Structure 1
Amino acid sequence: IHQINLSESEYVTHLQNGYILSDLSEFSKAGHYFLDTLEHWNQALIHSIDKIRQNTGNQFVQKWERWLEEAKSEQ
């Protein structure tokens, strides 16, 4: 699940599971990064699986619980 985005997010890490464009003219460069060799494609797949694990099931619940605790302590 490789992503090519114009904006950053917590779900995509540049050159790991995605490519963050600084300008739309970089789209071709980003496509070549993932499609020219299987190395980048496979690395991105592994990082995507890690991101999915971090944001599902108990990991996701724990992340939300930490966020809620931080929000409470800031009030």
Structure 2
Amino acid sequence: MIAAVNDETNLVEKERKIDAIRWNQAEELSTFDYFDINALLAYLVKVNIVARWTRLDDKQGREMLHRLMTSLDGKDLINKQ
């Protein structure tokens, strides 16, 4: 994954890909952890990514915030069971 990011010449796209990797990794590490430290740390990682992109690119930041809020909805978890 990281090797593919290294080939990217556009710095903004490189940052976006790195943050996508961080986001997905945080999500993977807290998949079955709902109310413990892993879930809180994953949430913190995502909030920091959203805050950073909101400062850099308002549209991208809002999209990421919407994605974060949707993931907190819990409907997907209920529907899976």
Q: Which has the higher strand share?
A: 1
Q: Which has the higher contact order (CA 8 A, sep 6+)?
A: 1
Q: Which has the higher helix share?
A: 2
What TM-score range do you get, normalising by the shorter chain?
0.3 to 0.5
TM-score by length of 1: 0.35
TM-score by length of 2: 0.33
